[in-house]
Amino acid sequence: MNLKIGIVGLPNVGKSTLFNALTNAGALAANYPFATIEPNVGIVPVPDERLDVLAKMYETDKVVPATVEFVDIAGLVQGASKGEGLGNKFLAHIRECQAICHVVRAFKDDDIVRADNKPEEDILKQAKDDIDIINLELQLADEETRAKVNAKKKKDPADENIPYLTEKPVIYMFNVDENGLTDQDLQSKLQNLVKPSKAIFINAKLEEEMSGMSREERKEFLKSYGVEHDALEELIKAAYDTLNLQSFLTAGKKECRAWTIKKGATAPEAAGTIHTDFERGFIAASICNFDDLQNYGSEKAVREAGKLRTEGKTYIMQDGDVVEFKFNV
Ligand X SMILES: Nc1nc2c(ncn2[C@@H]2O[C@H](COP(=O)(O)OP(=O)(O)OP(=O)(O)O)[C@@H](O)[C@H]2O)c(=O)[nH]1
Task: List contacts with ligand X (CB under 6 A).
Answer: 9, 11-17, 29-31, 33-36, 74-75, 107, 109, 112, 175, 177, 203-205
The site partner of 14 among ligand X, Mg ion, none (C-beta below 5 to 8 Å per kind) is ligand X
Query: Does residue 16 belong to the site contacting Mg ion (CB under 5 A)?
Result: yes
Q: How far is the CB of 253 from Mg ion (least distance, A)?
A: 43
Q: How far is the CB of 243 from ligand X (least distance, A)?
A: 24
Read off the DSSP letter of residue 45: E
Nearer to Mg ion, 36 or 246 (CB): 36
Whole-angstrom distance, CA of residue 203 vs CA of residue 215: 17
Q: How far is the CB of 180 from ligand X (least distance, A)?
A: 9
Torsion (CA) 303, 307, 308, 309 in degrees, nearest 10: 150
Residues 6+ apart with CB under 8 A from 16: 27, 28, 29, 35, 36, 40, 72
Query: Does residue 17 belong to the site contacting Mg ion (CB under 5 A)?
Result: no
Query: Does residue 105 belong to the site contacting Mg ion (CB under 5 A)?
Result: no
Nearer to ligand X, 32 or 151 (CB): 32
**Maximum Cα interatomic distance, the chain, rounded to a whole number of Å:** 69
Query: Does residue 218 belong to the site contacting Mg ion (CB under 5 A)?
Result: no
Count the neighbouring beta carbons within 10 Å of the beta carbon of residue 23. Answer: 19
Q: How far is the CB of 175 from ligand X (least distance, A)?
A: 5
Query: Does residue 23 belong to the site contacting Mg ion (CB under 5 A)?
Result: no
How many chain residues interact with Mg ion (CB under 5 A)? 4
Nearer to Mg ion, 36 or 81 (CB): 36
Q: How far is the CB of 111 from Mg ion (least distance, A)?
A: 17
Whole-angstrom distance, CA of residue 69 vs CA of residue 271: 22
The site partner of 183 among Mg ion, ligand X, none (C-beta below 5 to 8 Å per kind) is none
Cα 250 to its chain centre, rounded Å, is 22
Cα 204–210–63 angle (5° rounding)?
Answer: 115
H-type alpha helices, 121-182 = 123-151
Whole-angstrom distance, CA of residue 177 vs CA of residue 189: 15
Q: Which position's Cβ is nearest ligand X?
A: 75
The site partner of 40 among Mg ion, ligand X, none (C-beta below 5 to 8 Å per kind) is none
Q: How far is the CB of 39 from ligand X (least distance, A)?
A: 11
Among candidates 284, 253, 226, which has minimal Cα distance to 61? 253
The site partner of 13 among ligand X, Mg ion, none (C-beta below 5 to 8 Å per kind) is ligand X
Whole-angstrom distance, CA of residue 195 vs CA of residue 173: 13
Query: Does residue 114 belong to the site contacting Mg ion (CB under 5 A)?
Result: no
Query: Does residue 205 belong to the site contacting Mg ion (CB under 5 A)?
Result: no
Among candidates 168, 236, 165, 243, which has minimal Cα distance to 200? 236
Contacting residue, 5, 15, 44, 257, with Mg ion by CB under 5 A: 15
Whole-angstrom distance, CA of residue 271 vs CA of residue 323: 9
Nearer to Mg ion, 8 or 317 (CB): 8
- From the number of C-beta atoms within 10 Å of its C-beta (0-12, 13-18, 19+), residue 1 rates as middle
Q: How far is CA 68 from CA 4, 41, 150, 212, 263, in A?
A: 6, 10, 34, 18, 17
Whole-angstrom distance, CA of residue 110 vs CA of residue 114: 9
Q: How far is the CB of 62 from ligand X (least distance, A)?
A: 34
Q: How far is the CB of 183 from Mg ion (least distance, A)?
A: 26
Q: Looking only at residues 29 through 48 of this chain, which bind Mg ion when binding is defined by CB under 5 A?
A: 35-36
The site partner of 52 among ligand X, Mg ion, none (C-beta below 5 to 8 Å per kind) is none
Where along the sequence are the contacts to Mg ion (CB under 5 A)? 15-16, 35-36
